[in-house]
Chains A and B, each alone.
Chain A
């Protein structure tokens, strides 16, 4: 068979977006030297992690530095003394003989977590009366509290969608990660497609689509307001070339594009003017957040930080009485104006490009996942999609999709419409203790999916009939004309 050399995985580099993981808790952070990170009640620097392979597990030392965790052979206490049930165990809160101060003293002495757990076991009067399972549970619980290990993992759709759903579901319209997984598959997202994406999920959905396209094909991101939000997208760590075929187009120009009156005369206002500050921490520390959004074109996150600092520096150093300085300042102003004009021209050029791509009306698919009512979005954006292509719309609520479904039936040109949601359950699997976990998500949103077909615009009655034929058996036929509620 094929042999591969044992290649180590990718290494943690300065400037990366890395994800910290402890059990089921994730947090995305920029990898920067001398930058204090708070995660799971611990403070530390990432400096020592730089150069290690992603997936490495670290311990936090007393100085706030990371140290790779040694592979320690678990001290398996053979033939533990254990009880048979809890009938005689009284929970009076006095079974642990170590006090808070005792434990703190151990921690201050620099005693390792593993040893602290051992101490707790030895000083528990009820430990040996617990059943083996209860002892197991007790040890796991103490380990979780005192053996703080952190794994640094490489971001991916799996990791980021799980993180966002747990930490900031509001940012992503409560799109649960399995629902996102369905969208990517139902939408046949793959390398080479020309995709239209409309999302207000902080750029997570866009990132997921980009990951599945691998840099091949093209994406036109539709956006509301002044500019697309791609906070989560930058967490993925895509190579720069992935962004070469990523376009954006303002929703506010869609109507004009469809009616043939599109022009670049009125441009949507610059992203800086917009209240993008409503997008708070996405798991990133706050300053990083703003600079990343402003420096969309520059993928190197560190350069972004430098630019911000230099601008601040300039305002502080200004001294109007210095003539030479004044001349330099004028030159600088001219350059700034030129730069601004160049950027405007670039933006206009890109807008025309995106409009042209849309105007071909041959997109390979449409993904919608936003806070807006889906119906107007679908009815317009489907115009840009080729026939026999899938589309998927996500909505946090079911009702708007009911309306969307009805309007699509009226419009025609779509088949195989399906309204669905997924039900997800995690399990605890342990010998003699396997069962579903005690809590689960109450809901992960809804999907409306379908396939486009050639739209017969001329014969609206025929298309209604078509719609009726395509869906329900005659006894349940919706009388579309009667539904004027």
Chain B
């Protein structure tokens, strides 16, 4: 396995995702001799995991079963240990496309945080690109380095422990794209510009507050960035459900054969939605929105160095 390449079978040292069902999953470090506890029982790595095909069903000691999945940056984002607030795949997707990331891209990022976006970027720029990521918190920088090593992608990323606003990204004139997710991005715009290649480089700044966005847009303009554009993106999820609605009892007119009420015995009313004579209900399939949804993550501001 690799975060940048698919493998077929589970190997010792892999990071695999244990899927329990209904969006319940967790990552596991596959290791000879170790066991993993799940609510369905124990998984023994040596016998249950190593050598098995990814996507296999594994029966746990108590009889229940799970699926073992190949890791992807998206699954990692849903399961990684949070050291900071992270970016989710919805934002990551639009960032990746708007920054025009692809194999071979050179990308600068700050802050590294919990490495959610980092893993996605590394996946996209592999095998010939590189991510230069800057994190001012020493332990987080070290944890990130450790994770990239564990996930077999250390050759594609350089973690630098410094303050991007003071010392920049550590590279000049080579980046195809720069991403900023820091409290004061306007202080790093100058450094971003010098890290970017001469012409056509793209920049993105992510900020939860509109005041930060205003300051950042101003700074981008001052530094000569063009095509400045701010947007926000939200994910709406639908649950697929079969819904039954009762038909109301509107009574019956005395000695009246032709009723104006919905007649569920009428053949023309059969078909979809379903009429159920006995229960007086109508059934249909619906994509039902969730009760609550994420209403805001942050504003994304993009621009071009020209």
Contact = CB atoms under 8 A, between A and B. Distances in A.
Size category of the binding interface on chain A: 35 or more
B171 to A, nearest CB: 5
A154 B200 contact: yes
A122 interface: no
Given A180-B97, A390-B72, A453 B57 contact: yes
A295 interface: no
A8 B241 contact: no
A454 B66 CA distance: 12
A423 B233 CA distance: 6
B240 A185 contact: no
B208 interface: no
Contacts of B199: 8-9, 53-55
Given A5-B173, A398-B238, A423-B236, A178 B93 contact: yes
Contact of B74 (A188, A193, A417, A425): A188
Contacts of A388: 53-55, 67-70
A6 B196 CA distance: 10
B150 interface: no
B235 interface: yes
Interface in B70-110: 70, 72-74, 89-90, 92-94, 96-98, 100, 102-104
B300 to A, nearest CB: 10
Contacts of B234: 422-423
Interface in A156-173: 156-158, 161
A471 interface: yes
B126 interface: yes
A478 interface: yes
B89 A7 contact: no
A425 B230 CA distance: 9
Interface stretch (B43-51, B141-149, B181-189, B282-290): B282-290
Contacts of B97: 157-158, 161, 177-178, 180-181, 184
B112 interface: no
B55 A398 contact: no
A86 interface: no
Contacts of A188: 72-74, 123
A315 B211 CA distance: 68
B157 interface: no
Interface string B179-222: 00000000000000000011110000000001001100110000
A242 B238 CA distance: 37
Contacts of B238: 398, 419-421
A185 B200 contact: no
A363 to B, nearest CB: 10
B93 A184 contact: yes
A225 interface: no
A3 to B, nearest CB: 5
Given A191-B127, A431-B214, A55 B200 contact: yes
B13 interface: no
Nearest to B216: A429
A376 interface: no
A190 B122 CA distance: 10
Interface in A387-410: 387-390, 398-399, 401-403, 405-406
B253 interface: no
Contacts of A54: 199-200
Interface string A118-156: 000000000000000000000000000000000000101
Contact of A426 (B19, B218, B229): B229
B198 A427 contact: no
A437 to B, nearest CB: 9
B208 to A, nearest CB: 14
A380 interface: no
Contacts of A240: none
Interface stretch (A206-214, A244-252, A349-357): A206-214
A364 B72 CA distance: 12
B90 A422 contact: yes
A100 interface: no
Nearest to B10: A388
Given A212-B102, A429-B214, A431-B218, A181 B232 contact: no
A425 B232 contact: yes
A151 B234 CA distance: 31
A456 interface: yes
A401 B271 CA distance: 19
Interface of B: 4-6, 8, 19, 21-23, 53-57, 67-70, 72-74, 89-90, 92-94, 96-98, 100, 102-104, 120, 123-124, 126-128, 168-174, 197-200, 210, 213-214, 217-218, 228-242, 271-274, 283-287, 299, 301, 304, 306
Given A158-B98, A158-B100, A427-B232, 12 more contacts: A1-B172, A7-B197, A181-B97, A188-B72, A188-B73, A389-B55, A418-B237, A419-B240, A426-B229, A453-B69, A476-B241, A483-B242
29 contacts: A1-B172, A2-B171, A9-B199, A55-B200, A177-B97, A178-B94, A182-B94, A185-B89, A192-B6, A192-B127, A212-B103, A214-B102, A416-B23, A419-B239, A420-B238, A421-B236, A422-B90, A422-B234, A427-B213, A429-B214, A434-B210, A454-B53, A454-B56, A469-B22, A470-B22, A476-B241, A483-B283, A485-B271, A485-B274
